[in-house]
Amino acid sequence: MRDAQQALLVSGRWRGGPRTLLAALDLQYRELAVTAGLAWLLRPDGHHGLGPSVLDGLLDHLELDGSGADPGVRVVLEEQREETRADLVIYGHSWTIVVEAKTFAVEQERQLDRLYEHWRDEPAPSFVFLTRGRRLPITAVESRGHWRALTWEQVPTSPARPPPR
């Protein structure tokens, strides 16, 4: 049995410890940190060197017309309008993605309806309820048909297209 385990270990197929860097840092359930990490990956001009490929993967996954290479793409964390704060907003030239991210926190009173009210007039807005599991939004009452549920696991983890060289 030890030989089999050693063979798996040597080949890189036996794994132990935390599954992700965020888990190793004990940040995997901290909504602000995880959302900031996602925002960093989505920035087409980010120091990660992936260009627009991660954002393109999200746009493709959401079946939205647009490109991370569009001029003027902005990725904004914690954007506030009146008493309502969006965790993450991605602005393209002719499209907008508003993300309400959850790890363990419950929705605030009318949270998704308020987000919808404040961002519905943006260019082609798309509203995403991003959670750890398949959780349906409960505060999207008037805005129910406008929210799309997405799990963290479904977020594109690899670029849809190779980064430019």
> 57, 115, 118, 64: which is closest to 94 by C-alpha?
64
Measured in whole angstroms, the distance separating CA 148 from the mean position of its chain's CA atoms is: 12
> 3-class secondary structure for 76-135?
EEEEEECCEEEEEEEECCCCEEEEEECCCCCCCCCHHHHHHHHHCCCCCEEEEEEECCCC
In this prediction, residue 143 carries a pLDDT of 94
* Residue spans per domain, the chain: 27-154
pTM: 0.83
Q: How far apart are CA 141 and CA 146, in angstroms?
A: 10
In this prediction, residue 15 carries a pLDDT of 80
Sign for the CA dihedral angle at 19, 22, 24, 29 comes to negative
Q: How far apart are CA 134 and CA 150, in angstroms?
A: 7
In this prediction, residue 156 carries a pLDDT of 67
> 83, 69, 64: which is closest to 122 by C-alpha?
64
Q: How far apart are CA 137 and CA 142, in angstroms?
A: 12
Q: CB neighbours of 126 closer than 8 A, spacing ≥ 6?
A: 62, 64, 95, 96, 97, 98, 148
CATH number of 27-154: 3.40.1350
Cα-Cα-Cα-Cα torsion 136, 139, 142, 146, nearest 10 degrees, comes to -40
Instruction: Tell me the pLDDT of the chain (165 aa) as tens digits.
Output: 888 888 888 888 888 888 777 788 888 878 888 999 999 999 999 898 999 999 999 999 899 999 998 889 999 999 999 999 999 999 999 999 999 999 888 888 999 999 999 999 999 999 999 998 877 888 889 999 999 998 888 886 545 444 455
Query: Under DSSP, is residue 147 helix (H, G, I), strand (E, B) or coil?
Result: strand
